Homo-oligomer: A and B are copies of this chain.
């Protein structure tokens, strides 16, 4: 826009402003790293500068970042990564033989035997083979084809790529994508960015965040009025809600997808994080194949996995993969072309993924240490899941479903009407007002439920259960105390 400057010479504003930037990007929201996390960062700086606060550290329970919460890396994974980084160490007898053997095999598969070379855009072939074997083993022998495996820069990258392929049309013909509410906000952010239509289906909080096909049906029928529903996204185990879906539910969802002619996207990054007794992870792919050829040869699907979660929690390496099933070969060629533009996923992340899908075996020297470390992490998580549910449910005004899996709790909080009014007065959504107060008073950073979506009139927050047990107990106690104070203040 042209403006007239004081001296009469026309002066132009910025080329790029809020008003003329990509409007889809403006619509993107991502609460997990939103305003509250920025404020947490400021408070950390203030603490460093000596500003007095009612606490001495900020505890960032807003994100599933295991190592940041003090979880130690799994030795075997890091030994192999060090060997791959600096192969001179292969001569060092400090490293176990199986770690060396893995490193040699990975380096052998790299251009110039270096993890500094680009890989194939779809990922290193031998890693994709190992992933396929891992999936076959997980699913009791149902075949997996390495050509259907695409390695990625964390699961987020693959999810966005898949959504991008699927989006087309204009107006009422625009692609609609079904996502759960509450959801992980990568989905809503990607849909905003792509200009796709979000179709919300609600999980049933009263039934432990379970998914009801009748609700899917309600949502899709309503959506058909204004868009073209083509995709159904499921997160299992659930983020932020921590439920683990039953086999029956998965079967119902697959049948629904078939009937409604939907592409299924199964976000299964928490597949190894299942804690509750009686709960078990069932992969969408396994259930699909068990339903027989009418399903296994027709329903199109992509399933996502990551190195960031499970027992290893290696978020920083940005490793992940997706498996596509029943994808049209011509579309697959387009997908391969699309990922080639970004050249390749980070090779250290690919190497890490290879170790995750091909860990030490019982006859190998690293097996015992590896299993001890892995089991300790998963046992601690199970204990923390139990503890979180128990302590929160003792607090009047907090209701918390069991954390059956994943690494979050999403408790419901009763907010007094006066607090709701006060928040509105300050132009904040009520649960953001609550979480900001908690952050300022106790130094605990959570994400308001509004960042994930929730039924109108209900309020929640997401908290990771990752802090070490003793610290988690303190966090839970502080939140409980705060909730009492807050309720009293506004009653």
Contacts and interface: CB of A to CB of B under 8 A. Distances in A.
Interface string A415-453: 000000000000000000000000000000000000000
A112 interface: yes
**Copies of chain A in the complex:** 2
A157 to B, nearest CB: 7
Interface in A153-186: 153-154, 156-157, 160, 164-169, 186
A331 B16 contact: yes
Give the most central of A83, A120, A166: most B CB within 10 Å.
A166
Interface string A59-101: 0000101111111110000110111011001001010000000
A342 B154 contact: yes
B313 A16 contact: no
A338 B28 contact: yes
Nearest to A20: B168
Contact of A157 (B33, B81, B342): B342
A346 B317 contact: yes
B63 A316 contact: no
A222 interface: no
A344 B317 CA distance: 10
A410 interface: no
Interface in A332-367: 334, 337-338, 340-349
Contacts of A326: 14
Contacts of A220: none
B28 A116 contact: no
B25 A164 contact: yes
Given A69-B112, A112-B71, A315 B118 contact: yes
A341 B156 contact: yes
Contacts of A167: 22
A6 interface: no
B110 A316 contact: yes
Contact of A117 (B67, B153, B263): B67
Contact of A347 (B168, B189, B317): B317
Contacts of A164: 22, 25, 193
11 contacts: A15-B261, A15-B262, A20-B168, A34-B337, A65-B117, A66-B116, A70-B112, A82-B82, A82-B85, A318-B347, A346-B349
